[in-house]
Amino acid sequence: MAKKHGIQFEKLVDTVRPGIKECTIQDVVRRQAMGDSFVLVDVREESEFNSARIPGSRHLGKGVIERDIEEQIPDPATPLVLYCGGGYRSALAAHNLQLMGYTNVISMDGGFRGWKESGLEIDSTPQKSPS
């Protein structure tokens, strides 16, 4: 079941959506099938990522992505597709990365929840938290 978001949170996300690029889950599946090169970034909380994730994704949580992006992905032209649980946090993260000079950032609408509901492969191999 989708998390019910607060009205002000939804309004905030709605203000950034016109300024970012979004894609569908099927767009990501097509890009993967074509061998398109991009970094798939999971911006959910660490506990969410550790529980299950889209195969091949990297974790840079919404709470730290702005702090850690330059170290993890130093080239601001790197193609990035961000996802969260449903597409809200990833939209905010995409907006912030654009403000930081990242030029090829897309938020995947529908997020992990939509991916899973579509019956697509997920990786639920337990992940260890970094020491």
Phi-psi region at 22: left, alpha or beta (left = phi > 0; alpha = psi -120 to 50): beta
Instruction: Please state, in angstroms and rounded to a whole number, the distance separating the CA atoms of residues 4 and 116.
Output: 18
Token representation of residue 109: 């609408």
Catalytic residue among 16, 25, 54, 84: 84
User: Which of 115, 52, 51 is CA-nearest to residue 83?
Assistant: 115
- 83 in Cβ contact with 42 (< 8 Å): yes
Say whether 23 is catalytic: no
- 83 in Cβ contact with 112 (< 8 Å): yes
Q: Please identify every residue annotated as catalytic.
A: 84
